[in-house]
């Protein structure tokens, strides 16, 4: 069963302070309205674009989404 994107990115929490993926994971953890159950690129991408948050950056999302898809494409 495919994990939600949020569950996947939580594995990056606790990383180095200058690691964009760790910052993204931490910011999403503290964001109570983050779509935590979603596996939809469109839903998540739209949410990230609407937030306009430096820590929830679109480029970091794209990188994490690519890793997520790679892991769960089996």
pLDDT per residue rounded down to tens, the chain (74 residues): 789 999 999 999 999 999 999 999 999 999 999 999 999 999 999 999 998 788 899 999 999 999 999 998 86
Contacts by residues 43-51 (CB-CB < 8 Å, ≥ 24 positions apart):
44/5
- Global pTM? 0.91
Within its chain, how far is the Cα of 3 from the centroid?
A: 12
Range(s) of the domain holding residue 20: 5-72
Q: What is the CATH number of the domain that holds 43?
A: 1.10.150.260
Total structural domains in the chain? 1
């Amino acid at each position: 069963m495919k994990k939600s994107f949020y569950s996947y990115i939580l594995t990056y929490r606790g990383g180095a302070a200058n690691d964009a993926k760790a910052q993204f994971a931490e910011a999403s953890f503290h964001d109570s309205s983050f779509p935590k159950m979603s596996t939809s690129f469109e839903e998540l991408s739209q949410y990230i674009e609407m937030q306009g948050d430096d820590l929830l950056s679109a480029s970091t999302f794209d990188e994490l989404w690519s890793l997520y898809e790679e892991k769960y494409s089996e």
